[in-house]
Structure 1
């Protein structure tokens, strides 16, 4: 919530541009894929919170030096977007640099995490959509926020055309490791020929359900206007012991399966009775392989899971049955389904090989994003983003801009690792308030953050 006098608690006091430490080779360009183009209506926002005061005090010089060194490895980050002769977006890799903002937050970090909300948190990653003159627009913004009493939040914003949550996380992780003078453990690469394992160019388009789903979403986005709703966001943290206990009755299921099923059923109960003839649920998973984990760009796959009256299903057969439904759906999504979707995006090219128009992939149905792949030996990668040794983030948030429809659920690892999970839920405000009071969720004793209310 804002300050008592209504003013924002986040005040940006300086702006600058940080360029790479080595000049970019002239004429280099980074090609955006068909999936990257499809993400063009969305933006991505990530915030890393640190309890301790980093660097002794917020001195931009050491940060700027290490950021410049990191950017020299990734010219596609410092460049500017432009249209190629086909009319498709590409990144002109140049030395234009990344916008960096410095801000002060008029409260302590602890107070912020308990009293703030999702809309206020977005002020830690201030963002400007692409203007008509895109030659001067930075696709990336970094904001360093200093809290009273020493806490720090580092926010990254970018267009979703450039990066998905994994890519954005690894970019900041690379910066942190460069700052500590350590080798980059998960470097990003932009070799499109080997990206995600590659696909034979002579392979025919596979008319599987994933392609049909994207086709339906594309058509709906052009023909259906959704009512504008004021959305709110709340964050729930579930302990390792809680998730382990709940999974005992769900053999083979993952924490994502459990939490996706639980929040899906509870949110379904909040819907008006006339909308309960069928419940659709969009599942988003990352399809990076181990050998291509550092792929720069988008590697997300969306699929549709539909059942008649999911909350009725829970009442009759128990939550474990719904968990099983989600689990089987996730397991059913194979690499070929991902490539079927990629084939469909490629097939939307029009005259002159121009990609199809972007549409909102997050929505209109309730969308749930799995970040199970972000665990390395049960340790969450986002909590390994340490600018100083052993000073891990105490919390990491992810937001998707321009999301529409019924809402968004993001299930990600929690700081303690193992089976512990953090769930960020974005819903219409009236539904979110009721969800936060749902007994099925509160009985698991989650820690609540950034919901504008006190912890359960």
Structure 2
């Protein structure tokens, strides 16, 4: 096996600017929730079996990307401070940084032997400088593997976009490349769409998450588990008596929460908590292309002994009931709370880590498209619809959040296989992750292991 040291080599950088200029003086103020994500970055990697860019012939790439980013002025702009100290984007058509790199192994070897730390080499995002006027908040890295595979990494400041926004930006690029209409065009209206209400409410249960933020620092690792459609179907059948309407997210969030809690050991009278992160575009009837952050965090807790005694079906029922029980008022209350933290002149408070300190589980269940919708023959995924041609869909997609500290992060997302198949990315302290990768309750489901550092 090749040495893992330095297997990704960056060899060039360029800037792609939009094909159409925006009106001078256009700005994009960041919303309440955008400011709250200020400590984090977002990194998405799309892996393809074939390299459609013909050994980095970038002319077709530049043309299609240039056309698409013309629809996304905040993507090509630069951050600046307004008079009260809050952030906004100066939409000046400065462009998107594009990085080209080579990987010294094949795609299959990489997926088999790389780990989460090494995968970050595929999505390098320069740290935001003190003065970000020249800093590109969106960067794309095209990584060519030996033998023809390619990984395209999209990195951005989490203040600019959440997982849905970033995914749809990338998907729009692939649609433009195929000369197809943009299915989910961007919608920009942060100040009116998601802002505090004249009569705020800051007293609902979801605020427990934000009120208990703290900091932690440990060395973490990441592993990826892929579960087949048939396995998920079988597991949902097994928990049907406890939770007949369980979703794949309910099942996998409950399974990994219970197994991680076991690894962390008994807490006696203290609680094992799971912070659940969901997208609320549909619940608030926002356009699906709403560009920015539309994420809600809430906490589900069990006494230390209870989670150990509960069956999987019982924990699934708790997760399902918690997610189903999040009402619209909870979303607005969180926005009201962040607005209430403003200081003199309306300046937003300093951001804190949104992912942590509790074990955090992100649901991308809203990215699955059910049967019969938009002509889909079976449950499929908007994530894997990001195809540069009809015969070359992604074989794997990774989602990583930067600057996560605390007890760990779990991401549950649709997989490349249609139906109920799901991919779970888990970031934990190194020792805990090593034990989780050998956990019999998980291994009995025969997951395909990717990017776990094991060859």
Flag whether TM exceeds 0.5 (same fold): yes
Which of the two has greater helix per residue?
1
Question: Larger deviation: 26-35 or 285-294?
Answer: 285-294
Decide whether the 8 Å contact of 2:208 with 2:298 is kept in 1. no
CA distance in 1, matches of 2:308, 2:403: 34
**Which residue does 1:74 correspond to in 2?**
72
Query: Of 80, 93, 96, which residue of structure 2 is paired with 1:95?
Result: 93
CA distance in 2, matches of 1:11, 1:316: 49
**Which residue does 1:238 correspond to in 2?**
227
CA distance in 1, matches of 2:380, 2:51: 24
Question: Larger deviation: 96-105 or 288-297?
Answer: 288-297
CA distance in 2, matches of 1:276, 1:428: 23
**Which residue does 1:449 correspond to in 2?**
450
C-alpha deviation, 1:252, in angstroms: 0.9
CA distance in 2, matches of 1:53, 1:271: 42
Give the secondary structure class of the aligned counterpart of 1:101.
strand
Partner deviation per Cα, 1:416-445 (whole Å, 9 max, x = no partner): 122110000000111000000000000000
Alignment of 1:168-247 (within 5 A): 168-192=166-190, 195=193, 201-217=197-213, 220=214, 225-226=215-216, 228-247=217-236
CA distance in 2, matches of 1:396, 1:200: 35
Give the secondary structure class of the aligned counterpart of 2:264.
coil
C-alpha deviation, 1:390, in angstroms: 2.5
Give the secondary structure class of the aligned counterpart of 1:209.
coil
**Which residue does 2:362 correspond to in 1?**
369
C-alpha deviation, 1:205, in angstroms: 2.0
Query: Of 50, 54, 68, which residue of structure 2 is paired with 1:52?
Result: 50
Decide whether the 8 Å contact of 2:196 with 2:332 is kept in 1. no
C-alpha deviation, 1:379, in angstroms: 1.2
Decide whether the 8 Å contact of 2:28 with 2:89 is kept in 1. yes
CA distance in 2, matches of 1:28, 1:362: 32
Query: Of 149, 152, 168, which residue of structure 2 is paired with 1:154?
Result: 152
CA distance in 2, matches of 1:200, 1:431: 40
**Which residue does 1:398 correspond to in 2?**
399
CA distance in 1, matches of 2:302, 2:17: 50
**Which residue does 1:380 correspond to in 2?**
381
Give the secondary structure class of the aligned counterpart of 1:270.
helix
**Which residue does 2:27 correspond to in 1?**
29
Partner deviation per Cα, 1:144-175 (whole Å, 9 max, x = no partner): 00000000100000000001111100000011
Give the secondary structure class of the aligned counterpart of 1:65.
helix
C-alpha deviation, 1:62, in angstroms: 0.4
Structure 2 vs 1, CA of residues 247 and 13 (structure 1 numbering), >3 Å: closer, same or farther?
same
Q: Does 1:425 align with 2:426?
A: yes
Decide whether the 8 Å contact of 2:31 with 2:191 is kept in 1. no
**Which residue does 2:334 correspond to in 1?**
341
Decide whether the 8 Å contact of 1:55 with 1:388 is kept in 2. no
C-alpha deviation, 1:200, in angstroms: 8.3
CA distance in 2, matches of 1:271, 1:294: 39
**Which residue does 2:7 correspond to in 1?**
9
With the length of structure 1 as denominator, give the TM-score of the two structures. Answer: 0.94
Structure 2 vs 1, CA of residues 107 and 44 (structure 1 numbering), >3 Å: closer, same or farther?
same
Alignment of 1:97-136 (within 5 A): 97-136=95-134
CA distance in 1, matches of 2:189, 2:266: 50
CA distance in 1, matches of 2:435, 2:130: 41
Decide whether the 8 Å contact of 1:12 with 1:103 is kept in 2. yes
Decide whether the 8 Å contact of 2:30 with 2:190 is kept in 1. no
Partner deviation per Cα, 1:319-376 (whole Å, 9 max, x = no partner): 1001111111111111210111011011111100101110000001100000100012
Give the secondary structure class of the aligned counterpart of 1:229.
coil
CA distance in 1, matches of 2:441, 2:236: 15
C-alpha deviation, 1:211, in angstroms: 2.8
Decide whether the 8 Å contact of 2:99 with 2:142 is kept in 1. yes
C-alpha deviation, 1:128, in angstroms: 1.4
Give the secondary structure class of the aligned counterpart of 1:417.
coil
Gaps of 5+ in 2: 371-378
Structure 2 vs 1, CA of residues 363 and 272 (structure 1 numbering), >3 Å: closer, same or farther?
same
CA distance in 1, matches of 2:414, 2:10: 30
CA distance in 2, matches of 1:188, 1:24: 15
Aligned residues: 441
Decide whether the 8 Å contact of 1:313 with 1:322 is kept in 2. no
Partner deviation per Cα, 1:15-49 (whole Å, 9 max, x = no partner): 01110001121000001011110100000000000
CA distance in 2, matches of 1:276, 1:110: 46
Question: Larger deviation: 38-47 or 124-133?
Answer: 124-133
Structure 2 vs 1, CA of residues 262 and 153 (structure 1 numbering), >3 Å: closer, same or farther?
same
C-alpha deviation, 1:54, in angstroms: 1.2
CA distance in 1, matches of 2:451, 2:357: 24
CA distance in 2, matches of 1:358, 1:200: 17
